[in-house]
Amino acid sequence: MKRIALVTGANKGLGLETARQLGAKEITVLMASRNKERGMEAVKKLKAEGLDVEFVQLEATNESDIQVLKQHIEAKYGKLDILVNNAGIMHKDEPLGSNTSESISIETLKLTFDVNFFSVVNLTHALMPLLKKSDAGRIINLSSILGSNTVQSDTDSPYYSVKPFAYDASKAAINSFTVHLAAALQGTNVKVNSAHPGWVKTDLGTEGAPMEVVDGAKTSVSLSLTEETDFSGKFIHMGEEVAW
């Protein structure tokens, strides 16, 4: 039976490329997008490439959308093998080269955590019964090196001056979720890891980024593959561990 993957935020950027690369591995990919028109267009593009993909509606902060999606996957496929928690935001109030810890509003902080953290935990909890039905379930949480407190506290780090607080804190929280969930899932068939895709040319990363999207997706794809990932509770970039 084919493996089934769900990729959130799959209508563009890293999500779209992750779906493309997973589809090329003969995996059925459910491409989640909150915008139906953009999501359908992305699916059409990958179907034209001969890939087995399907559009699914998901506003990750909407509990109803999560439950409808869970019921759809259960009814149609009976399991979920791969969950790539890719969707995320950096709020417009957080310029990439700034330190917003003194100026960030509670509203911006809450919105960033709603999308980048709480919705990820909620979706993962909802889909866990389906992941446990997989012979080899894989959960990939998209993080960032900016969420590494080791890196952020190193004055010699090239990232030391890059401190959009809400974004960084939400990714640090995601890393904590990965560590705790991996421990909870010890002894099961489900493994969970955090992925740092790199600084990639996306809407979030901007055109000034050094990495192309095709390379940025490689870490998530590798962590999705049973034959490449026999570990859990790690923070990975291109096959190498990143400090928490």
Task: Kindly report the three-state secondary structure assignment for every residue of the chain.
Answer: CCCEEEECCCCCHHHHHHHHHHHCCCCEEEEEECCHHHHHHHHHHHHHCCCCEEEEECCCCCHHHHHHHHHHHHHHCCCCCEEEECCCCCCCCCCCCCECCCCCCHHHHHHHHHHHHHHHHHHHHHHHHHHCCCCCEEEEEECCHHHCHHHHCCCCCCCCCCECHHHHHHHHHHHHHHHHHHHHCCCCCEEEEEECCCCECCCCCCCCCCECHHHHCHHHHHHHCCCCCCCCCCEEECCEECCC
Cα–Cα distance measured from residue 221 to residue 168, given in angstroms and rounded to the nearest whole number: 23
171 counts as catalytic: yes
167 counts as catalytic: yes
Q: Looking at 2, 12, 45, 167, which residue is catalytic?
A: 167
Q: Looking at 77, 163, 171, 218, which residue is catalytic?
A: 171
Cα–Cα distance measured from residue 138 to residue 190, given in angstroms and rounded to the nearest whole number: 6
Q: What amino acid positions are annotated as catalytic residues?
A: 167, 171
